[in-house]
Amino acid sequence: MTDHRRKYSSELLDGPTKAPGRSMLRATGFTDEDFEKPQVGIASTWATVTPCNMHINELAEASRLAVDEAGAKALLFNTITISDGIANGYEGMKYSLVSREVIADSIETVAGCEAFDGLVAIGGCDKNMPGCMIGLARLNRPSIFVYGGTIRPGKNHTDLISVFEAVGQYAKGDIPLTDLHEVERTALPGPGSCGGMYTANTMASAIEAMGMSLPGSSAQDAVSEEKLQDCRNAAAAVVELLDKDIKPTDIMTRKAFENAITVVIALGGSTNAVLHLLAMASAIGVELSLDDFSEIGKRVPVLADLRPSGRFMMSELVQIGGILPLMKRLLDKGLLHGDCLTVSGKTVAENLAEVEDYPEGQEIIRDFDKPYKADSHLRILRGNLAPDGAVAKISGKEGEFFKGTARVYHSENETYQAILAGDVVSGDVLVIRYEGPKGGPGMQEMLSPTSAIMGRGLGKEVALITDGRFSGGSHGFVVGHVAPEAAEGGPIALVEDGDQITIDAVNNQITLHVDDAELKRRRAGWKAPEQRYKRGVLAKFAKLVGSASEGAVTDDFK
């Protein structure tokens, strides 16, 4: 009888007719005994193109060795990664969200071809993390995700967002060029993902809360013995998952996604979590919508004082216990589903049973009676400007209501240059369109313009609306993911300079103060722009991608 742990590899490698395949693997070091073991693919996102992933080769090797020690046979392969932090504000940023789909496709392709029985995926940057998770969900084989870990703070408590905002300060004349260069040289001290509750740390926390990472994986420094041990532990855990035949569909349930959303809100996480959790749910076959974020947000407060809106970095949360004490508090308050299964083989409640609370005197995580915001900072807005929804990140520090005058731009870079030049003034509502999933294509992040706004001291005086999206490092009065997008003829395509726009983050409404007759007149004269990319990955993405309101996925052919 075939070992159930070798469900896939046995079909590829057993019997006389499979001798050629076995011969190929013998050349890589396989022994006779190895062919009797389940095979575990180690998906590494290692690359030297970004600090987020430059150390992952070592982590992947630690997992590979530990899989072998646990009684399975590991095979290591790579997938791609790109750097949002480097590409922001440049045409190449269009490839960022696209890379999520390429990563998912590549993991599915390698594991499907090579017949891996289980998988460990190690990611450390904004898109390769959800990309890994989508790939694991599609394959639905015993799997575990390992986060590469957070970067440590730079000189004077700086990080990448400090550099972006220093550009705006320099443009305004608040700091000299020498200060900008000093921040540039010292803000990033080594390996790891961007240091605040930006997209990478947000997604790591969401994946752990969902149960697809081991407890503690999301809150460890990239360069640490704890992170290396996390990789070893994950290797042992995936072999246990194989033994018990526990698959992503057993873990990534509707309740698990609700847990992930709850933790993201409590941490004050990135708007990108909305996009990626919707995409991950689509991949695993779980019904999830924008409205679920609104419903959960009504009962979950923001408890964390983490950057970009707060003071502290992820490495400082690591030092006081990470997200596990927060999850324990949420569970005790009845805000988490404790019965959800996790990759540890235990339930959420069992994982948290022995977790100790945060130390006395810490200031990063507040109690429920003194939240930073009583309900979610992630606001799902609807109205005549966004009939299918938009996602706002409103911490409350910039206010919860904004009415201003539209200033329309057709690209991120055009807007960025206008801000740096001083053309943007108090009361403006910047409208950046044709940057959506299809229109960009690729739904660029708006970190450069939002950082320039903050650097010029306009964070409370200017709003920004886009059918693109935001970096987890963006803050201020910002609304993204406007759907339908401009390239699809959404109302955002019809806005003109001088129109009045209201953003109401209390009633979750976004209103273009133009009557229906005038909008009808404008629509009659609107023409869809020609797609400038005719071949290659951007053209394929533009042709296949769906709405941001459904996760901007490329494989939902309903």
- If we measure between CA atoms, which residue out of 41, 75, 223, 73 comes closest to residue 144? 41
Cis geometry, peptide bond prior to residue 189 (ω within 30 degrees of 0): no
* Tokens matching residue 28: 């890589």
Beta bridge partners of 510: 503
Q: Read off the amino acid at residue 419.
A: I
- Closest residue by Cα to residue 107 from 122, 92, 97: 122
């650097």: which residue's tokens? 455
Active-site annotation holds for 426: no
Q: How far apart are CA 76 and CA 21, in angstroms?
A: 17
Q: Could you give the CA distance from residue 453 to residue 39 in angstroms, rounded to a whole number?
A: 51
What is the b/e burial string over 403-428, where b = at least 16 CB atoms within 10 angstroms of the residue's CB?
A: ebebbbbebbbebbbbbbeeebeeeb
> Rounded to whole angstroms, how far apart are CA atoms 290 and 444?
20
DSSP string, 364-388: SB--TTS-SBSS-SEEEEEETTEEE
**Residue 411 three-state SS:** coil
Residue 269 contacts residue 198 (beta carbons within 8 Å): no
Six-digit token pair at 411? 């690209």
Q: In this structure, how many other beta carbons lie within 10 angstroms of the beta carbon of residue 530?
A: 6
The pair of structure tokens assigned to 467 is: 């059918």
Looking at residue 94, its amino acid is K
Give the tokens for residue 329: 């508090």
Contact 283, 104 (CB under 8 A): yes
Q: Which of 471, 474, 547, 549 is catalytic?
A: 471
Q: Indicate which residues carry an active-site annotation.
A: 471
